[in-house]
Structure 1
Amino acid sequence: MTPFPLSRRMFVASSLGLAATGLLGVPARAAAPLRIGVGSDPVFAAFFLAAHEKLFEAEGIEVSLQPYAEGAEAMNALVAGQVDVSAASESSTMVRMPRAELRPLAVVYHSGKYVKLVLREGIADPGEIRRFGLVPGSISEYCTGLTLQHFNLDPAQVEMIPSGPPELPALLARGDIDAFFAWEPWPATALTQGGHVALTSADVGYVDTIWATASAAILGSNPEGLQAMLRALAKASDITQSDPARAAEGVRAITRIPVETSLKAFKDMTLGVRDFTDADFISFDGIASFLADHKVTTGLVPYRDVMQRGFYKG
């Protein structure tokens, strides 16, 4: 997901008020804080709200929440052993699986509307696209390919113009590209410069998800803590769905993202903790194939071997 301005060194910690007590009434040694890395935009609202309202503490765990510029950077921190758990998209997680022992635990977000196709002024229909801006090796490029298939566009007749996400709206406004498929806030930025949204990723067959992924080491040493973390996130997700203003204030308290920005983003997403489904795996297979076909990964990533289906009981 795309970053909002925030220092990647921002550190948020919630601590237990009381030590656990052993069977003989002797205080037990408290477990080390569970270190969690996330990106810095509203799709991670459940993590921010759980920290702000001490929902992790209510589940009996101590947590250190570390926001990074984006989910991919949080995953890099997990690979490096700097955090115990990270949340990121399926593609950001898969590409790092060959480098570390990663264990996806559950889906914590899904949406078919957060990633959007934006057309420039003068282009009324996706069938008219001849210059497509994209972020190579990302969901942007994946959805671009789905768009070509959906509208029967000949790839040989469409010029692909690689770009970083922040540059896409400017390229569109100048007429250097006819369209781009990307996640927020870049579509919203393009709208202020004359672009218009034609469709969302669900319209071409892709529902994006974010996984909560743990290191194999923490899954082996502290599965109870991970279960407690997911329970806290589930409660925070329920609050976000039922009381968006309360959740947006929690996001603002941790990240300084304006409340109105979060409220707008919440309309395009569903926060909720759930187990992986058969339909998920079909979608994930498509992502794995895309990454292999575009040489982002060396062959198909055997992600199914490490998915912890059934870990979250709900």
Structure 2
Amino acid sequence: MFGFSFSLAKMTAVVAVVNLSIAMPAVAETIRIGLGVDPAHGEYFVAAERGLFKKAGLDVELVRFTQGGEGVDAALTGLVNITSAADMTTMIRMARGPLKPLAIGQRSINSIKLTVSPKVQSINDIKKFGIVAGSVSEYAARAALKKFGVDATGVTFVRSGPPELPALLARGDIDGYFVWEPLASLGVQQGGKILMTSVDAGYQSHMWITANAAWYETHKDEANRLVEVLSEAAKIIAADPEAAAKDINAQTRLPVDQTATTLKMYDWSVRKFTPQDIEGYKNIATFLAENKMTDKLLDVAAAVPVDTSGTK
């Protein structure tokens, strides 16, 4: 027979610990969000600066990357849980691994532009095209060439990081580049000019809110609350871009005036995907496959959840 003794003091301590553990609220798991440092991801920075994530009971860490595509890569590997990137930037990577699109974060009105050298009079004059590979920069460039009947085999695509594009143009290393603001206008400040927008090339970018698929399956409530917070932040930006620019500056140090101008180039409305969206994405998927930007045609209808209720 085993001897067993348990003092009253020890028992009291155990009960106290148990009661304490029951009384203490559960600690929220940190949600890591991968995104680029530019105004296109403004709702995340506004939400962080104004404490909207915390109010919703979410512990969020914003993980900054040079551009959105790097954030999507991180979501694929599980380094981040949520990512913010353009539709085609995300679609390119969806063929590599499971991602779960949640909603559209905003729509570009005229923020993606083709900046060219003063000597360039039309897209036919571009022989060296600066691009950010695997992003809306590359897609818009290739789409413009196709729309205006320019043979892409006669064009050299010069890969670059986004911040380097204006300098490459100023040095004459490239004839033009398609990129988002404010980098498009920075090229103008260095002697270039705007030739067209991505809309002229037949492309209007949607910024997607996307989750790592495995993470989403066990965190659907957190993901839904996150989208609601971003919707609230987007409304703040739409109502007062100048005030929102100050919030973004506090989070990123991006210039306030420049950021406020850029914010007005987007339709800040977080919403679900519609059947009309899917039809547009199918065209993008076909283009990506035809130009070998994806190994196979992405089944957009199966990959992107559609809201048929008519509600946002």
- 1:37 and 2:39 are equivalent in the alignment: no
- 1:162 and 2:158 are equivalent in the alignment: yes
Secondary structure in structure 2 of the residue aligned to 1:250: helix
Secondary structure in structure 1 of the residue aligned to 2:268: strand
> What CA deviation, in whole Å up to 9, does each residue of 1:189-231 have, x standing for no partner?
2101221112111112100111111122332222222111111
Q: Aligned-pair RMSD on alpha carbons?
A: 2.5
What's the counterpart of residue 202 of structure 2? 205
8 Å Cα contact 1:106-1:309 kept in structure 2: no
8 Å Cα contact 2:34-2:83 kept in structure 1: yes
Matched residues, number? 289
8 Å Cα contact 1:38-1:66 kept in structure 2: yes
Identity %: 35
What's the counterpart of residue 275 of structure 1? 272
What's the counterpart of residue 146 of structure 1? 143
Q: Distance in 2 between matches of 1:311 and 1:57?
A: 31
> What CA deviation, in whole Å up to 9, does each residue of 1:69-123 have, x standing for no partner?
2212222221221222111112222232234321000000211411111231133
Q: Distance in 1 between matches of 2:214 and 2:128?
A: 46
- 1:67 and 2:64 are equivalent in the alignment: yes
Secondary structure in structure 2 of the residue aligned to 1:96: helix
Mapping of residues 1-314 of structure 1, within 5 Å: 29-155=26-152, 158-164=154-160, 165-310=162-307, 314=312
Secondary structure in structure 1 of the residue aligned to 2:211: strand
8 Å Cα contact 1:133-1:177 kept in structure 2: yes
Please state how far the C-alpha of 1:155 moved relative to its aligned partner. Answer: 4.4
What's the counterpart of residue 11 of structure 2? none
What's the counterpart of residue 8 of structure 1? none
Structure 1 pair 147/95, CA: closer, same or farther in 2 (3 Å)? closer
TM-score by length of 2: 0.82
8 Å Cα contact 2:82-2:209 kept in structure 1: yes
Q: Distance in 1 between matches of 2:263 and 2:278?
A: 25
Structure 1 pair 197/28, CA: closer, same or farther in 2 (3 Å)? same
Counterpart code for 2:76: V
Counterpart code for 1:285: K
Counterpart code for 1:163: R
8 Å Cα contact 1:206-1:283 kept in structure 2: no
Please state how far the C-alpha of 1:47 moved relative to its aligned partner. Answer: 0.5
> What CA deviation, in whole Å up to 9, does each residue of 1:239-268 have, x standing for no partner?
101111221111111112121221121122
Structure 1 pair 253/155, CA: closer, same or farther in 2 (3 Å)? closer
Q: Distance in 2 between matches of 1:265 and 1:282?
A: 28
8 Å Cα contact 1:111-1:208 kept in structure 2: yes
Secondary structure in structure 1 of the residue aligned to 2:139: helix
Give the structure with the higher percent helix.
2
Counterpart code for 1:102: L
8 Å Cα contact 1:38-1:86 kept in structure 2: yes
Secondary structure in structure 2 of the residue aligned to 1:106: strand
Residue range with higher mean Cα deviation, 228-237 or 162-171 = 162-171
Larger radius of gyration: 2
Secondary structure in structure 2 of the residue aligned to 1:204: coil
Counterpart code for 1:180: Y
TM-score by length of 1: 0.82
8 Å Cα contact 1:125-1:198 kept in structure 2: yes
Q: Distance in 1 between matches of 2:308 and 2:61?
A: 22
Structure 1 pair 177/96, CA: closer, same or farther in 2 (3 Å)? closer
What's the counterpart of residue 7 of structure 1? none
Please state how far the C-alpha of 1:27 moved relative to its aligned partner. Answer: 5.4
Q: Distance in 1 between matches of 2:307 and 2:121?
A: 45
Secondary structure in structure 2 of the residue aligned to 1:206: coil
Counterpart code for 2:227: L
